[in-house]
Structure 1
Amino acid sequence: MPADVRAQVPPDVVEIERGLSRISHLLSRARQHHQIATEAGVPIDRAAVPILRLLAEAGPQRPGDVAARLAVEAPHVTRQVQRLESIGYVERVPDPADRRAYRIRLTAAGREGVDRILGVGCQSILQALSDWTPQERAQLATLFNRMVDDFVRHAAERGVLPR
């Protein structure tokens, strides 16, 4: 960051950006995902995890809605859904609101797979934060979710994400 821009930004914001950059790099490493997927015994690539997680949390979705909610291009979702269908993790079902459309939903195997991935991920976080008190973890969770919600709102207002 240029010195003139850095001088205008409060030091705490610079440190937040630095921390986010570090965690983003850590979480986006393919090796990290491969380790979690291997421990969980789930044969999916890291691009499929957000789709499975969304379906687990929100229920069946149209492919376009999945793409919009994850802020990715529709062809990305189509490719991932095809892969997930081929291993039996998702299935296409008629959309009750529009017979011409379909929704994607988790199968029992998909639910089990996403649960195993999330379980291994949560255990990894618990181990990494083993010196933290439950109160510190709760405070982090509250502030982290508040920050993400504010980032999403801000991005939607700027037209970067759907509202």
Structure 2
Amino acid sequence: MVEIEKCLTRISYLVGRARQHEYPMAAAGMDLDRAAVAILRRLAETEPMRPGVLAGLLAVEASHVTRQVQQLERAGYVVRATDPHDRRARRIELTDAGRAAAHRIREASRIGMRMALADWSDDDLRQLAGLFHRLVDDFITHADVPAAGLGPV
């Protein structure tokens, strides 16, 4: 367990570095902050959704999503549309420009990934993807459960 925790800490550090965000943004020809990119990418993977639902999926406060959505609206990447199930509510949805931007970001991010994992076999990559999915799912399942022996978190 110690080695897994060490590796996750290193991955978290590497992913959180400013360069890790700046390079794909430059390659994609865009200037968005990390939070806006996370929202753009999440919306590209799903149906349009209410800001509160989006905040829950990203594990952030709704006000945080509102600020980022405003930035994405100004850039022409998202619009707020009426929720067909509740005319009083609004959903966030990508525009064509938003879908294209999410695609450019995804492709720019994959360049570094391809370079880093170029020597891995297809089987190793499939195993890694499967284990990462399992890891994330288990972390989400146990996210609100205090660690044993540590008391309330």
Q: Over the residues paired in the alignment, what is the CA RMSD in angstroms?
A: 1.1
Task: Tell me the residue number matched to 2:115.
Answer: 127
Task: Tell me the residue number matched to 2:40.
Answer: 52
Task: Tell me the residue number matched to 1:19.
Answer: 7
Map 1:71-82 to 2 at 5 A. 71-82=59-70
Task: Tell me the distance in 1 between the aligned counterparts of 2:123 and 2:83.
Answer: 43
In structure 2, which of residues 98, 105, 112 is the aligned counterpart of residue 110 of structure 1?
Answer: 98
- Cα shift at 1:86: 0.2
Task: Tell me the distance in 1 between the aligned counterparts of 2:26 and 2:5.
Answer: 31
Asked whether the equivalents of residues 30 and 46 of structure 1 are also in contact (C-alpha less than 8 Å), the reply is no
Task: Tell me the distance in 2 between the aligned counterparts of 1:131 and 1:60.
Answer: 38
- Cα shift at 1:42: 2.1
Greater shift, 27-36 or 109-118, is seen at: 27-36
Structure 1 stretches of 4+ moved >2 Å: none
In structure 1, which of residues 37, 50, 57 is the aligned counterpart of residue 25 of structure 2?
Answer: 37
Task: Tell me the distance in 2 between the aligned counterparts of 1:61 and 1:42.
Answer: 24
Other structure's SS at 1:93 match? strand
Task: Tell me the distance in 2 between the aligned counterparts of 1:19 and 1:116.
Answer: 29
Task: Tell me the distance in 2 between the aligned counterparts of 1:102 and 1:136.
Answer: 43
Task: Tell me the residue number matched to 2:129.
Answer: 141
Give unpaired runs (5+ residues) of structure 1.
1-12
Task: Tell me the distance in 1 between the aligned counterparts of 2:140 and 2:27.
Answer: 31
Asked whether the equivalents of residues 89 and 106 of structure 1 are also in contact (C-alpha less than 8 Å), the reply is yes
Structure 2 letter corresponding to 1:40: A
- Cα shift at 1:66: 0.5
- Cα shift at 1:111: 0.4
Structure 2 letter corresponding to 1:108: D
Aligned length: 146
TM-score (norm. length: structure 1): 0.86
- Cα shift at 1:151: 0.5
How much identity, in percent, do the aligned residues show? 55
Other structure's SS at 1:31 match? helix
In structure 2, which of residues 133, 137, 141 is the aligned counterpart of residue 153 of structure 1?
Answer: 141
Q: Which has the higher helix share?
A: 1
- Cα shift at 1:43: 2.2
